[in-house]
Every structure is written in structure tokens, then in C-alpha cells.
Structure 1
Amino acid sequence: MEKNNGLLIVLSGPSGAGKGTICQEVLRQLPDIKYSVSATTRKSRPGEVDGTHYFFRSREEFQAMIKKDELLEWAEFCENFYGTPRFAVEQAIQSGMDVILEIEIQGALQIKKRFPQGVYVFVVPPSMSVLSERIHKRGTESEDVIQKRLETAERELEYVTEYDYVIVNDKLEKAVDKLKSILVAEKCRVKRKPYEFQGV
């Protein structure tokens, strides 16, 4: 039987919802899933490594990637560009490997137009007050930037209906289990499994 394509799992949600932490834990527990590293013009945070967490690029470098059509999607968010390099994602899926993308909502909606067969998961915080607390705890941004992120988050929550699944991230372990369950269910979809049943 011909090898099935891998799943494209798109994980997004408001900044501070915890999608990055969920993604890291799922990758730790399911090492066969490939993580798609995004490119960004934002400055690296403490502990972030170029090529592992993001490809950190200047605005000029990023715009050159756009012109060469090297990005599967891209978006501007809080005055920084984010995008998904095309080749590695397409190659992995075609070889049967599952790929997980952790991207902003604008980018996720672009991907959905190209890959409607993907699995789209929206991560939300238990409440806006919890979201505010999480972003403040990072200690990496000014109060003005934090307020902008919170205002953006309120608008972004309206996009939940564009996704296949929603995960409320109240406890990390539960959120991770929910995402793993979604992947199992998607693997069992009849439309993804063109089996030919043999008679006894």
C-alpha cells in the first residue's frame, strides 16, 4: 500500500496561552513528530537558540525570503515578522512524517487555505486574568507591549471557530493529553486510512 502523508498539526492561540510549552512537552513525549522551526525578526529571549527555537533574521533577510517564496506563510505580529520555511515542512509531510507548527493566528489561517486537510488546534488560557499573569511572569517585555499583547489576545479569541479543536490550558498535563488524544483520533479517521479490507 502507498505510504500515507504525515499529518500537519497547526497549534496556535493568543500569546501567553502556553502553546509553546504544550508543544515542547508533546515533542518530548512523541519524539517522532517533527517540529517546524519558524523564522522571525523578533529579538531572541534568554535561553533561545537560533535554529532550535526560531531562525532569528533581520527584517531585510526576512523580506528577501518573502520575495523568493521561501515561506509557507508569514505574518506581522506586534511589529515583528514571523514565518514558516516551506521546503522542510512539505518534504517531511510527503515522506509520511507528522509535523507540528506553533504559529500565530494570521499564519495559521494562511496555512489552512493551502492545507485544509491539516489539524488545526487553538490553545486558550482559562481566563484573561491568568493570561495577564503569565505574560507578566515572563519579565521580558515592557508594560506597554504587555498591554498591546492582551488587547490583541482578546481579539484573537474570536478566531476559535476557524479551528478544528480547542484546548483550555489550565493544567499542562491535561492539555498535553488532550493534544495527544486529538492526534490519535485524527490518525484513525477513515478519510486518512484508505484500507482495503480482505475477506476471511
Structure 2
Amino acid sequence: MSVAASSHAHLFVLSGPSGVGKSTLAQAVLDQDEHLARAITHTSRAARESERNGVHYHFVSESQFLAMMRRDEFLETVHIFGNYYGTSRKAVLDSLANGTDTLLIIDWQGAQSVRQQFQGVTSLFVLPPSVAALNHRLTGRETEEHASYESRLASARDEMSHYNEYDYVLINDLFDTTVEQIHEVVETTRANRNIQIGPTQAAIEALLAST
């Protein structure tokens, strides 16, 4: 059974392939909007040098994560490249109950799960400006997952194939423009209006055809 997010608070989902810049975009939007909060993901993977517990992720051991799963503490979970990721059910429900618009940064599978549990979810999918740009990010980004480039690219292609399940699709070409587009989606959702934004279907298909 699905439930309404709240009569006053909105639930937003942001997805996209690894390396497209979701977290950086989200942080820029959050910095501009004091009424929007991010639900921080739990993960069993080790923290990178640049990451802080409770800020970028909630870092837990695999045994702790699995225990939380058994207690049904997650709205959604995913196991990728040997690590678990999940969104705390209580954190999201508490945030919405407090009247705070809440942003989830999750993959397409998590987005499907959240839509099944909540009514009125607004979803955004971010695509790279080109395959070359995505390749550059995938080969250059810091990672401890030890996944091969080929497996990470295959995962990114699979993620991008689900773009049409989302309310809005954006191409992260000019960073500031993409941040503004996400902000516009948030504001129009709050105002209970629709907005025409993002690339044409032909542009999306051309991008995906080149992967």
C-alpha cells in the first residue's frame, strides 16, 4: 500500500548513472534551499578519504546493514559492486512528517520501490552530456569498489536505459544550468504546477544510441 508523502512536504528522487554528478548537483541545490533536505544513504562500503560519516553517507559494517535489512528499516536497498546501499525508512518518514521536502539520491531500482510506497513522488533523471564525458568521469573518479571499467560502464548503460520512467530528464552539460533546472522542478512541484524542461526526446535517443 502506498501513502501520500505529506499534504505539506514533497518527496523528490534524483537518479542517474555513476559519475554523472548527482551528489554534487544535489548539494548545490540543497545549499540554495533551506526547505529541502537530503536523506543520507546507508552503505556497507568503506569511506573514501574525502567522505565524512553522516554527511556523505552513513557508513556501517555489512553485518550491521544486513541486520537493518532484517528489521525492515530500509525503504529500498541495492547491492552493487560488492557493497550494500539503502535509504532509512524512519529518516524519510520523520523528515516528511516534520514538513520538510526530502530528496533521495538513489538508482532506478530504488526509485521504483519508493514509487510503490509513496504517492506523489517527483522524480528526476540526470544524463551525461556525452559518452566521452561519462567515460572520463568513470575512469578518473576515486573508487574503492575495484570494479572494472567495463562493468562500471555496463552498469551506467543499464541505469540510463530507465530514464523514461522519470518525470523529468536533464542533461548535465552546464553545471549551473542543471542546478537551476532542478531548482525549478522543486519550486514548480511546491506550487502544484507542471514545467516543460530538459532535452528533446530526439536528443536523449541520440545520446543513448552512442553508448
Taking structure 1 as the reference length, the TM-score comes to 0.88
**Superposition map of 1:77-96 within 5 A:** 77-96=80-99
| Residue 143 to residue 66, structure 1, CA distance change in 2 (3 Å) | closer
Supply the distance in 2 between the matched residues of 1:118 and 1:151 (Cα, whole angstroms): 28
Instruction: Name 2:183's counterpart in structure 1.
Output: 180
Once residues 51 and 67 of structure 2 are traced to their aligned partners in structure 1, the CA distance between those partners, rounded to angstroms, is 23
Percent of pairs with identical residues: 36
User: How far is the alpha carbon of 1:190 from its aligned partner?
Assistant: 6.4
Candidates 168, 172, 191, aligned match of 2:171: 168
Q: 2:177 and 2:94 mapped to 1: Cα distance?
A: 31
Q: Does 1:20 align with 2:23?
A: yes
What amino acid sits opposite 1:125 in the alignment? P
Matches within 5 A, 1:125-164: 125-140=128-143, 144-164=147-167
Match of 1:33 in 2: 36
Of stretches 86-95 and 6-15 in structure 1, the one that deviates more from structure 2 is 86-95
Which of the numbers 5, 8, 21 marks the counterpart of 1:5?
A: 8
- The letter for the 2-side match of 1:85 is S
Q: Deviations over 1:58-93 (max 9, x none)?
A: 111111001111111111122211100111211111
* Residue in 1 that maps onto 2:58: 55
Q: Which runs of 4+ in 1 moved over 6 A?
A: none
| Residue correspondences, number | 189
Kindly state the Cα deviation for residue 33 of structure 1 after the two structures are TM-superposed.
Answer: 1.0
Report the equivalent of 1:197.
none
Q: 1:75 aligns with which of 61, 64, 78?
A: 78
Residues 93-102 or 14-23, more deviating: 93-102
C-alpha distance in structure 2 between counterparts of 1:153 and 1:118, whole Å? 23
Q: Is the 8 A contact 1:5 1:95 kept in 2?
A: no
- Stretches of structure 1 that go unaligned for 5 or more consecutive residues are 192-200
CA distance in 2 between counterparts of 1:100 and 1:125 reads 20
Cα 1:190/1:26, change in 2 over 3 Å: closer
Shift of 1:94: 2.1
TM-score (structure 2 length as normaliser): 0.84
